[in-house]
Structure 1
Amino acid sequence: MSVIDIPLPEYDCEVGTTRALITTAPDSDLGWRPESGARTLGQLVTHLAEIPVWTAIVMTSYRYDLEALAEPSPEHGATETLLRFDTHAAAGRDARAGRLDGELTADWMLERHGVLSSPSRAFPHFAYWF
């Protein structure tokens, strides 16, 4: 078993947990926000659905500039959000599977008003924890 395959069960577990969380947000409540300056529930759920995109970005490139990041995606209904999440999660898993162990030790850079650099093996965790 290669080193890249060791965290795949953890990735699958995180995907399952996140998917379950997304399903708890009913369409009728997606416009709710706890206070006027906060994101809506729909925006938060959409954000959760997009987190797995980062796994594919990290595994298929050596840097990413957040200045190129588009505006946040518009919120969608629960069914479309789950479909997007499943698509992003599958793409992230596919991007991780089959990589060479040496690719995990290469530095990866996330840039925006400065640079954050880390071995690429650390960023899938970074994407879920921050």
Structure 2
Amino acid sequence: MSDGEISDDEITPEELNALLEEGEDVRIVDIRSAGEFDRGSIPGSENVPFQTLPREVEELAGEERVVTVCPKGQASLQAMRIIESYEGTDGEVRSLAGGLDAWSRDYELEKSEESETGADADAPF
């Protein structure tokens, strides 16, 4: 596979954006750390850090469509394979081609309130 070419395991930012704009049911799983996620993420995505994914995969198994996201699109391919390998998974699981870097070239990122205010996300108050 050459640069610029995506595999069947991937979805382009344009394809993902079109699904979101059409109101399709897509569960976007961002596998970065909580701190990285708070600094900017795809609107509507949820944070499931890669290290916790094996414990959380059962929760994703029943979804019709899951898209995994990481900074450059490499670790999210591994996350996609973890989700696909779970015996209860029967929906479509794909990785965002080029990751968050590719998404942010054309689309806005959502920042958490903690990130915008400078508050510590782990603070109890």
More helix by share: 1
TM-score (norm 2): 0.30
More strand by share: 2
